[in-house]
Amino acid sequence: MWTKLIASIKVAMHSIGPEDNHRAVSCRVDSIEHGIEIRDEDLRRMHETGIFLVPTLSVLKYVMNMPSRQDHATWVKEYDLSVSTFQRALKAGVKIAFGTDAAAATVEKTSWVVTNPAIQFGLMLDLHMDPMLAIKNGTSLAAELLSMDNQVGSIAPGKLGDIIAVAGDPLKDIRQLEHVNFVMKDGKRISGE
């Protein structure tokens, strides 16, 4: 009984540096949150074992660009390392799920236009991710990571019916996802027409 219970518990590791990330991979966590600096051999193991990377590019960029930061150079370095890891993870075929650590940006009570988590979709495309893969990061792959892919993450009979709509085609302009004008939750319209 305990083995079955433990096997069903998801482990997400908040991890930044190369040694932390190596230990997370060695322990076979389900996901590495942030993962700012991950070595190539650990990215290969992540791909082989199905460990997800949940990068937080948008919040790092937000903090890096805050004019009041005394440690600006440190944040620039962290962002650059995160970009490198993201691009190498993408090339290595590591599963990437959408996550932003957006709550960290709310500390300064900054405008939603600046901290909108959907900004990360554009950042991922700027780093050469395919638009459909970026959308899957925020839908089906995120649902898979959370073991909720039988409920959400795609549109199919029997699923909850969580849907958003935007005015344009996000495959042509991913930044359309920053301007959601319709939300359906559990098959019921929450907002929009």
How far apart, in whole angstroms, are the C-alpha atoms of residue 162 and residue 185? Answer: 4
pLDDT tens digits, 54-112: 999 998 888 888 877 788 889 899 999 999 999 999 999 999 999 888 666 555 566 65
Range of 103's domain?
2-154
Closest residue by Cα to residue 30 from 54, 6, 12: 12
In a domain? residue 104: yes
Q: Between β-strands 188-192 and 31-34, what pairing exists: parallel, antiparallel or unpaired? A: unpaired
| pTM, entire model | 0.90
Residue type present at position 10:
K
In a domain? residue 109: yes
When pLDDT is cut at 50, 70 and 90, the band that residue 1 belongs to is: very low
Count of domains observed in the chain: 1
Q: Give the rounded percent of residues in the chain with a pLDDT score beyond 70.
A: 89
How far apart, in whole angstroms, are the C-alpha atoms of residue 25 and residue 39? Answer: 11
In a domain? residue 29: yes
Average pLDDT of the segment spanning 24-36: 96
In a domain? residue 187: no
Q: What is the CATH number of the domain that holds 43?
A: 3.20.20.140
C-alpha distances out from residue 6 to 12, 47, 116, 153, Å: 14, 23, 35, 25
Average pLDDT of the segment spanning 160-166: 93
In a domain? residue 174: no
In a domain? residue 164: no
- List the structure tokens of 86: 């993201």
In a domain? residue 67: yes
Average pLDDT of the segment spanning 163-189: 95
Residue type present at position 123:
L
In a domain? residue 81: yes
Lowest average pLDDT, out of 3-17, 98-112, 149-163, goes to 98-112
Residue recorded with tokens 């554009």: 122
How far apart, in whole angstroms, are the C-alpha atoms of residue 80 and residue 85? Answer: 9
